[in-house]
Amino acid sequence: MQSIDLATQSLRDLNATLQAQKNQTNATEWEVLNPRGAHAIAVGLDAPIEVTVRGSTGYYCAGMNKQAQVHVTGSAGPGVAENMMSGTVIIDGDASQYAGATGHGGLLVIRGNAASRCGISMKGIDIVVQGNIGHMSAFMGQAGNLVVCGDAGDALGDSLYEARIFVRGTVKSLGADCVEKEMRPEHLEILRDLLARAGVDAQPEEFRRYGSARKLYNFDIDNAAAY
């Protein structure tokens, strides 16, 4: 385990060190001490390493993540895992607004609650929130899955494209063009896999599925695989 203490080392040095790790590195386990809410911790990683941040972080933690597993033992500020490409990001506490925004891939797990606009413009990322989410979540979500084990706020899935939304609790209101849809066997299987990967003890049958009514954009079933 390699340790970097932000009480004595700079954030610039931390990120430069982590970003320098390559696929063949032997230094696969890292810990970050005394994050004290610093912004942009562990951004732009592109190696199969594990980074544990022992405390809470500020803006854009694990942004643009690729391959790495980043585990925050506290809470995260706005934009955690923003534009994530692959890998895993786990937040033990709560996440502020637009968690997982524009994410293209990978898995984001939030053990607590997520604020407004969770998964905004998601493009393939999978997000599992064990608590509640705020308003306008999955706004313009294009692809991927948003799983909410608690409740969802106003305007869920507003202007949704082809992202899937699964909610176990109540939904305050649905956004424009977002509707409840049938939970078919393939969706139960997708959800079962995501819950298992996120370490969540819940049954897929407890959730409801929401998706796009396909009235606000040009949808052609012959091109469904392209969405």
> pLDDT tens-digit profile of 47-81?
999 999 999 999 999 999 999 999 999 999 999 99
Average pLDDT over residues 200-217: 94
Prediction pTM value: 0.95
For 37-48, letters b (16+ CB in 10 Å) and e give ebbbbbbbbbbb
Give the pLDDT band (50/70/90) at residue 162.
Answer: very high
60/41 Cα distance (integer angstroms):
7
How high is the mean pLDDT of the chain? 96
Q: What is the mean pLDDT of residues 149-169?
A: 97
Token pair in block for residue 35: 């994050």
Find out whether 124 and 105 touch, Cβ atoms under 8 Å: yes
Confidence of residue 208 (pLDDT cuts 50, 70, 90): very high
The stretch 8-31 carries a mean pLDDT of 94
What integer pLDDT is reported at residue 226 of this predicted model? 67
Tell me which residue of 45, 22, 31 sits closest to 2, measured CA to CA: 31
